[in-house]
Amino acid sequence: AQSVTQLDSHVSVSEGTPVLLRCNYSSSYSPSLFWYVQHPNKGLQLLLKYTSAATLVKGINGFEAEFKKSETSFHLTKPSAHMSDAAEYFCVVIRVTGTASKLTFGTGTRLQVML
Amino acid sequence: GAGVSQTPSNKVTEKGKYVELRCDPISGHTALYWYRQSLGQGPEFLIYFQGTGAADDSGLPNDRFFAVRPEGSVSTLKIQRTERGDSAVYLCASSPDRGNYGYTFGSGTRLTVV
């Protein structure tokens, strides 16, 4: 079975400082992984995706993530946080078989950005 | 439309009543998914449609929940004899394939059972 574990339920940073949101995955084969962001009272938005091409993936709003097979990790980073980055972030693994497709979400990390 | 549309955005119903939640996916997207997000949790899979057929309904919690997609476009999630534990945000998503490159989510329907 595939799963993801988000290591921090809450991360607080100051505006202008780096962001690191940690995610570890478990999969019996090379997974496809995503990061989604959810702003309050809004829908989930795809930030970036890893699908076995380049291991360093760049997404929207300056976010990027690096797939590290040896560490089974897919951490999300951003060099400089902005107030508008405050939201809930979900690490997600997808399982695609012959007829089925299913996303499994982590429990989420709430990012707080302080002035 | 430009995105995935869900209606209503909010629904309050009494325990025991029947509700229908509607999802209008992105035009041309063959795959459609329903997820449920309880307070403080990540979304949980309910059901996946490929075209008109439910390819995977293993996430439906019990037989009070049912979903249809009769013409391969709009989908309706139906909940019979609602219980307070059904209160959650119900999310719909669509993708042009089986989702290998990510899904597009709607804003959700917040269901409150009182």
Q: How many CA atoms lie within 13 A of A114 on its CB side?
A: 4
Nearest to B79 by CA among B26, B9, B11: B11
Taking CA atoms, A92 is separated from B15, B110, B114, in Å, by: 33, 22, 32
On whether the CB atoms of residues B100 and A96 are closer than 8 A, the answer is yes
pLDDT at site A102: 83
- Any chain A CB within 8 A of the CB of B10? no
- Could you report the per-residue pLDDT of B36-47, keeping only the tens digit for each? 999 888 999 999
Report the residue from A34, A90, A101 with minimal CB separation from B42.
Answer: A90
Please give the Cα distance from B44 to A104 (Å, whole number): 7
CA B37 from centroid of its chain's CA atoms: 10
Which parts of chain B register pLDDT below 70?
1, 99
Please provide the DSSP assignment of B50-63 as one string: ETTEEEE-TT--ST
Chains A & B: contacts with CB separation below 8 Å = 65
On whether the CB atoms of residues B87 and B112 are closer than 8 A, the answer is yes
CA distance B15 to chain A (A): 24
Report the residue from A49, A100, A108 with minimal CB separation from B101.
Answer: A49
Residue among B5, B32, B100 with most chain A CBs within 10 A, to mutate: B100
CA B109 from centroid of its chain's CA atoms: 8
Q: End-to-end alpha-carbon separation of chain A, Å? A: 41
Residue B96 structure tokens:
């042009």
Q: Is A56 helix (H, G, I), strand (E, B) or coil?
A: strand
Nearest to A93 by CA among A65, A60, A54: A65
10-residue averages of pLDDT along chain A (115 residues): 91 98 88 91 89 88 94 96 97 80 90 96
Taking CA atoms, A15 is separated from A8, A36, A82, A90, A114, in Å, by: 19, 21, 5, 21, 6
pLDDT at site B1: 53
- CB neighbour list of residue B70: distance below 8 Å, 6 or more residues apart: B52
